[in-house]
């Protein structure tokens, strides 16, 4: 069915050659996807949320036929991956690699018409399609200048435009707002929502928790090649059960973090640096009962506490509760 994706135990293992000194090298296997299974329903915005190195791009590359999976199966828009790859390419619009997928010596209009030709659109059809996209994304002012003269935000916008040229029922966007400034990112998200309202299914990868929360009907949280959790944003938050989140800002050492982690009732903690101070996130059962002991433990480890507050559970907390790490951490397999 159009806009539907089914992924069954998809595995991707990269073989890489690692240098050992000047001459010697050895083969190393990197398991980027460890048997990913999930289904995406027609008409939804489906988020893939995970830190750098989680395997998001690898999954997207497999689904868009750019990479051959090591094993497993997938059906995209009703077509079977590796069997009907031409049909898959014709019915998927994708944004991968951002601006690197564009011809810098061509204008926006020429780029769009060129990619339209690759989809076998007639000259007239690709001109009309390009005009429509340029209008929709307000690219009119720059449409007839070569891409090399664009700001990086404008290049990203054109890379997004390119995903629309074949008017596919399924859009696959790999971190589309990466490198965009806030207003441009907001604008792009608004267009994605609009396209979704028009009936397009969207797969949206991001490592930014807030983006997944606001954009996606359902989210799969992935880490180290595995799906850790999947559901609507409220479902994922509810999966923390009775657990609550306390956030402490100040100057907090690793030792203080460990001491808090050992307190009864605490299930996970994560320490991050934010704008020159440290932030400790504590996932625990009974916040109220914990608070005195929490402060005691921090003070005993010379922590300087500037702010301590209960927080609404976020998707980031779901990630912390499952992994003991934050989304900002790089989880690439070394």
Which residues of the shown chain bind ligand ADP in the complex (CB under 6 A)? 14, 16, 30, 32, 50, 52-58, 332-333
Which residues, listed in sequence order, are joined to residue 7 by a DSSP beta bridge? 38, 74
- Name the residue among 95, 79, 75, 97 with its Cα closest to residue 87: 79
Query: Is the CB of 52 or the CB of 184 nearer to ligand ADP?
Result: 52
**Which part of the chain contacts Mg ion (CB under 5 A), choosing from 50-58, 239-247, 288-296, 309-317?**
50-58
Q: How far is the CB of 214 from ligand ADP (least distance, A)?
A: 20
Query: Is the CB of 57 or the CB of 196 nearer to Mg ion?
Result: 57
Q: How far is the CB of 175 from Mg ion (least distance, A)?
A: 6
**143 phi/psi in degrees, rounded to 5:** -60, -25
Does residue 278 bind Mg ion (CB under 5 A)?
no
For β-strands 24-40 and 170-174, DSSP reports them as unpaired
Classified as helix, coil or strand, 154 is helix
Query: Is the CB of 52 or the CB of 267 nearer to ligand ADP?
Result: 52
Residues near 212 by beta carbon (within 8 Å), at least 6 away in sequence: 47, 49, 204, 206, 219, 233, 315
List, as own/partner pairs, every contact residues 299-302 make where C-beta atoms lie below 8 angstroms and the sequence separation is at least 24, other chains included: 300/259, 301/253, 301/255, 301/256, 301/259, 302/253, 302/256
Query: Is the CB of 49 or the CB of 143 nearer to Mg ion?
Result: 49
Q: How far is the CB of 31 from ligand ADP (least distance, A)?
A: 8
Residue 189: which of Mg ion, ligand ADP, none does it interact with, CB under 5 to 8 A by kind? none
CA dihedral 327, 331, 332, 334 (to 10 degrees): 160
Out of 12, 45, 57, 260, the residue judged to bind Mg ion by CB under 5 A: 57
**Which part of the chain contacts Mg ion (CB under 5 A), choosing from 57-65, 96-104, 218-226, 274-282?**
57-65
Q: How far is the CB of 33 from ligand ADP (least distance, A)?
A: 8
Residues near Mg ion (CB under 5 A): 56-57
């Amino acid at each position: 069915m159009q806009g539907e994706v089914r992924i069954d135990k998809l595995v991707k293992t990269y073989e890489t050659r690692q240098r050992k000194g000047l001459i010697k090298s050895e083969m190393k296997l990197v398991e980027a996807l460890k048997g990913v299974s999930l289904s995406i329903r027609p008409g939804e915005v489906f988020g893939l949320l995970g830190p750098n190195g989680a395997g998001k791009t690898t999954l997207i590359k497999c689904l868009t036929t750019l990479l051959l999976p090591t094993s497993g199966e997938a059906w995209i828009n009703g077509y079977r991956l590796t069997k009907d790859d031409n049909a898959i390419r014709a019915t998927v619009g994708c944004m991968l690699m951002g601006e690197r997928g564009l011809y810098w010596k061509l204008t926006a209009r020429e780029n769009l018409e060129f990619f339209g030709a690759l989809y076998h659109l007639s000259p007239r059809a690709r001109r009309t399609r390009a005009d429509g996209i340029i209008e929709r994304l307000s690219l009119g002012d720059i449409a007839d200048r070569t891409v090399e003269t664009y700001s990086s935000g404008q290049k990203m916008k054109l890379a997004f435009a390119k995903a629309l040229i074949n008017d596919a029922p399924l859009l696959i966007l790999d971190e589309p707002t990466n490198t965009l400034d806030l207003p441009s990112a907001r604008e792009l998200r608004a267009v994605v929502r609009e396209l979704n309202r028009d009936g397009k299914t969207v797969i949206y990868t991001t490592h930014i928790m807030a983006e997944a929360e606001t954009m996606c009907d359902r989210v799969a949280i992935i880490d180290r090649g595995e799906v850790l959790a999947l559901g609507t944003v409220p479902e994922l938050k509810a999966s923390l059960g009775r657990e609550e989140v306390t956030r402490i800002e100040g100057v907090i050492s690793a030792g203080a973090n460990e001491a808090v982690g050992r307190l009864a009732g605490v299930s996970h903690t994560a320490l991050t640096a934010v704008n020159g101070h440290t932030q400790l996130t504590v996932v625990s059962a009974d916040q109220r009962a914990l608070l005195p002991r929490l402060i005691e433990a921090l003070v005993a480890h010379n922590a300087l506490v500037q702010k301590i507050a209960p927080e609404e559970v976020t998707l980031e907390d779901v990630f912390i509760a499952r992994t003991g790490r934050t989304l900002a951490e790089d989880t690439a397999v070394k």
